[in-house]
């Protein structure tokens, strides 16, 4: 067991964390001194010989720097303000952690602050720095005086702390180096207050640094503005930032085949451009390409059937030989956003047809559950993708537990969620982004969806990308996206992970997406034709009340007629008063 004196040399007894009392005999190891000198002078020597990362396949390994990583490390060393535009998964955060550990190990009284858009992200960045520190040979390390999950302090007076991108991040602190991770993904409404908070941290010193690294996320944000100023060729417009850019093809092993395979996995070229192509996709763009809108409009038609006081529209009758899916968005029923059911015919994936829409702004979630079950029965109880957020959870749970509906698709539950508590579609940033990307693949790229409902198409045109990368209805007092979200969820049934649960995939297209489907054998599909249970309101003047048909013997009819005439009623057809149809 370590002696008391030995314990004092290590922080909390951890032999990888020497304290300021730790002693090393450098005179017996001249190579240690040589390493210390080389590491202090050369960040690349330090990284390539002593910095460890965690590899998913190999565990903890010594990093092998690519040429672009060496270039960035030199820039971090040589410039005060560095902004890096980077493709995903190129190790941009690793470059920041190498610099942070190098500076704090080999320079005294350096205070570094790592700021990320989420607390867990910031904690994980510091965790990586702490792991790399522990893997260093002890003779290279400054002693540890504080070792926490949100900050570390070394005996040489240097420290590393973390913060999130809140409006008061770093306020009141000063630091020698501010590291900002994924600046483009800070919620846009927080950017101004955040920047006002963190920028003064470096203003008190002429040597303090700021490093920013991010993948692009639209054009209406601080990261875009800083990067555009950094690459500006006009000296009057150029800011003081040094720009770095890392493209996907700079990573060894990424070639055109990798690019094409990745596009297929993501589902669209736009997604690749966003995640890997360093493309600043303009915010405010519509989910439907403008030149494509007029073409889609040609497919819109008046419904063949209008049911349920105009809430339920059908462009076709259910066909027991066809394949259907349902997408559902649930509202509170307070007269604003509507509860919506979209029914798609996916029998032919090269001609997907919108065959029915139910939309109601005033129906309560409780009553909507019954109505939804009724509509699903019309279409053979198809796979139903119901958003369970907020009041949707009530609908999903009642549909399953009270009405016994089995074909409820579950998707989007995060790690740790109990599946049986997360029936339905869990909507969050990732699932919505994937849903929009999937919809645009089928709608814009393949052009195989026939939108029949003009109101659905109108919502699609006004469904836009916001500066923070999210999609929603454009601002407006009466702009809603409930028809679009239910359409998005219906089309999510064609995500391979979901499709293979409910259909047999007979053939894939060139992008490895479903091309031909066959229904799995769930037994006899149960269809209830709505034509047999509803009157087609399209053929009626709904402003006129229904006729009253008199029955009974003559005395009863005479009495009834007298009562009705006293109330202002008259014969429907005055030329046929032997009939018993009255109209008020």
Is residue 520 domain-shared with residue 576, that is, in the same domain?
no
Question: Is 42 a domain residue?
Answer: no
Is residue 214 domain-shared with residue 294, that is, in the same domain?
no
Is residue 219 domain-shared with residue 298, that is, in the same domain?
no
288-321 confidence digits (pLDDT tens): 767 778 888 899 999 999 999 999 999 999 999 9
CA angle 369, 287, 333 (to 5 degrees): 25
* Total of domains in the chain: 3
Question: Is 556 a domain residue?
Answer: yes
Give every CB contact of residue 6 below 8 A, 6+ residues apart in sequence: none
**Under a CB-based contact definition with an 8 Å cutoff, are residues 113 and 272 in contact?**
no
Last residue of a domain, one of 246, 264, 298: 246
267 or 510: which leads in pLDDT: 510
334-388 confidence digits (pLDDT tens): 988 999 999 999 999 999 999 999 999 999 999 999 999 999 999 999 999 999 9
For helices 454-461 and 482-491, angle between their N-to-C axes, nearest 10 degrees: 90
Q: How many residues does the chain have?
A: 584
Question: Is 408 a domain residue?
Answer: yes
The pLDDT of residue 79 = 94
Mean pLDDT in residue range 545-552: 54
390-408 confidence digits (pLDDT tens): 899 999 999 999 999 999 9
Is residue 104 domain-shared with residue 196, that is, in the same domain?
yes
Is residue 324 domain-shared with residue 196, that is, in the same domain?
no
Q: What are phi and psi of 143, to 5 degrees?
A: -65, 155
Give the distance, in angstroms, between the CA of residue 130 and the centroid of all CA atoms in the same chain. 30
Last residue of a domain, one of 183, 215, 246: 246
Mean pLDDT in residue range 189-199: 72
Pairing of strands 151-154, 159-164: antiparallel
Is residue 563 domain-shared with residue 518, that is, in the same domain?
no
Question: Is 27 a domain residue?
Answer: no
Cα separation of 289 and 442, whole Å?
13
The pLDDT of residue 372 = 96
Question: Is 276 a domain residue?
Answer: no
Question: Is 554 a domain residue?
Answer: yes
Pairing of strands 471-473, 463-465: antiparallel
pLDDT at 1 over 70: no
pLDDT at 469 over 90: no
Cα separation of 56 and 470, whole Å?
30
Last residue of a domain, one of 194, 221, 246: 246
> Residue 568's domain spans which residues?
545-583
Cα separation of 349 and 175, whole Å?
58
Q: What percent of the chain has pLDDT over 90?
A: 53
Q: Using DSSP, state whether 347 is helix, strand or coil.
A: coil
**Under a CB-based contact definition with an 8 Å cutoff, are residues 7 and 17 in contact?**
no
Which of 200-231 are b and which e, b meaning 16 or more Cβ less than 10 Å from the residue's Cβ? Answer: ebbeeeeebbbbbbbbbbbbbbbbbebbeebe
Is residue 348 domain-shared with residue 435, that is, in the same domain?
yes
Is residue 508 domain-shared with residue 569, that is, in the same domain?
no
Question: Is 50 a domain residue?
Answer: no
Instruction: Give me 140's structure tokens.
Output: 């290279």
The pLDDT of residue 583 = 40
Cα separation of 357 and 315, whole Å?
9
pTM: 0.59
Is residue 203 domain-shared with residue 109, that is, in the same domain?
yes
Is residue 564 domain-shared with residue 528, that is, in the same domain?
no
Mean pLDDT of the chain: 85
The domain spanning residue 163 has which CATH number? 3.40.50.300
Largest CA distance in the chain: 126
Cα separation of 330 and 12, whole Å?
54
Is residue 357 domain-shared with residue 470, that is, in the same domain?
yes
Is residue 557 domain-shared with residue 453, that is, in the same domain?
no
Closest alpha carbon to 188 in 435, 389, 428, 465: 465
Question: Is 423 a domain residue?
Answer: yes
């Amino acid at each position: 067991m370590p002696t008391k004196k030995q314990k004092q040399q290590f922080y909390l007894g951890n032999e990888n964390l020497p304290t300021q009392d730790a002693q090393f005999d450098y005179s017996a190891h001249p190579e240690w001194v040589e390493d210390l000198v080389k590491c202090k002078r050369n960040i690349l020597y330090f990284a390539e010989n002593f910095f460890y990362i965690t590899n998913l396949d190999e565990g903890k390994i010594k990093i092998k720097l690519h040429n672009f990583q060496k270039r960035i490390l030199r820039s971090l060393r040589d410039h005060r303000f560095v902004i890096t535009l980077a493709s995903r998964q190129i190790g941009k955060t690793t470059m920041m952690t190498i610099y942070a550990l190098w500076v704090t190990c080999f320079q005294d009284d350096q205070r570094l602050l790592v700021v990320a858009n989420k607390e867990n992200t910031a904690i994980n960045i510091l965790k990586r720095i702490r792991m790399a520190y522990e893997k260093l040979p002890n003779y290279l390390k400054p002693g540890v005086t504080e070792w926490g999950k949100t900050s570390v302090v070394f005996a040489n007076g240097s420290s590393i702390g973390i913060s999130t991108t809140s409006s008061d991040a770093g306020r009141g602190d000063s630091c020698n180096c501010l590291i900002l991770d994924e600046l483009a993904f800070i919620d846009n409404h927080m950017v101004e207050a955040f920047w006002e908070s963190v920028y003064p941290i470096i203003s008190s010193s002429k040597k303090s640094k700021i490093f920013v690294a991010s993948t692009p996320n639209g054009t209406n944000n601080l990261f875009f503005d800083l990067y555009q100023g950094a690459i500006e060729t006009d000296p009057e417009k150029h800011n003081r930032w040094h720009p770095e850019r890392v493209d996907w093809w700079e990573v060894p092993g990424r070639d055109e085949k990798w690019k094409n395979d990745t596009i297929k996995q993501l589902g669209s070229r736009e997604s690749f451009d966003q995640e890997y192509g360093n493309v600043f996709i303009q915010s405010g763009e519509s989910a439907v390409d403008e030149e494509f809108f007029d073409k889609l409009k040609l497919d819109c038609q008046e419904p063949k059937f209008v049911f349920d006081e105009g809430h339920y529209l059908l462009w076709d009758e259910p066909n027991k030989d066809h394949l259907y899916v349902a997408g559902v968005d649930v509202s509170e029923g307070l007269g604003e956003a509507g509860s919506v059911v979209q029914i798609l015919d996916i029998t032919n994936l090269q001609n997907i047809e919108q065959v029915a829409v139910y939309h109601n702004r005033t129906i309560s979630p409780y009553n909507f559950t019954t109505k939804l079950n009724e509509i699903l029965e019309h279409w053979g109880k198809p796979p139903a993708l119901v958003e369970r957020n907020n009041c949707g959870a009530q609908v999903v749970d009642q549909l399953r537990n009270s009405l016994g509906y089995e074909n409820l698709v579950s998707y989007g539950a995060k790690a740790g969620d109990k599946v049986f508590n997360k029936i339905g579609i869990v909507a969050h940033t990732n699932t919505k982004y994937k849903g929009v990307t999937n919809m645009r693949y089928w709608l814009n790229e393949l052009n195989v969806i026939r939108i029949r409902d003009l109101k659905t198409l109108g919502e699609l045109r006004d469904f836009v990308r916001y500066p923070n990368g999210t999609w929603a209805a454009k601002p407006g007092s009466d702009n809603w996206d409930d028809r679009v979200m239910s359409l998005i969820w219906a089309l999510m049934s064609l995500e391979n992970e979901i499709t293979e649960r409910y259909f047999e995939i007979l053939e894939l297209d060139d992008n490895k997406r479903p091309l031909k489907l066959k229904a799995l054998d769930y037994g006899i599909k149960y269809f209830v034709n709505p034509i047999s249970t509803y009157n087609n309101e399209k053929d009626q003047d709904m402003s006129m009340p229904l006729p009253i048909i008199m029955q009974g013997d003559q005395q009863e009819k005479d009495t009834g007629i007298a009562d009705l005439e006293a109330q202002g009623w008259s014969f429907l057809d005055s030329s046929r008063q032997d009939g018993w149809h009255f109209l008020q």
